[in-house]
Amino acid sequence: MTVPLSYYLVLSGFVFLTGVVGVLIRRNIIVILLSVELMLNATNINFVAFSEYFHNVAGQVFVFFALTVAAAEVAIGLAIIIALHRTNSSIYIDDLNLLKR
């Protein structure tokens, strides 16, 4: 009666690829960071599904570490965005072409 593991894998693969496409097609840096959060959540779903499937608690412990890294990434990323907005007054990645000029 339980849900097969492959359903969870398909779901997390879909969410991960949505995040990849979001990183590639958006111009707003904040939405790009939100897409990175999507990818992290996809890996977390995978970890928890395998943890339940193999009856091993290690997967859930690693979700904690992924959560820590996500929190650190958000803090640093948003600080970088604020610094960028202060110097460039734009957060679109098309406008950040200082090395091309």
- Residue closer to other proteins by CB (options 24, 98) is 24
Q: Which of 78/98 has CB closer to other proteins?
A: 78
Nearer of residues 13 and 99 to other proteins, judged by Cβ: 13
- Provide, rounded to whole angstroms, the least separation between the CB of residue 101 and other proteins: 18
Q: What is the DSSP string of 5-68?
A: HHHHHHHHHHHHHHHHHHHHH--BHHHHHHHHHHHHHHHHHHHHHHHHHTT-THHHHHHHHHHH
Tokens of 76: 């640093």
Min CB(12)–other proteins separation in Å: 9
Rounded least distance, CB 95 to other proteins, Å: 12
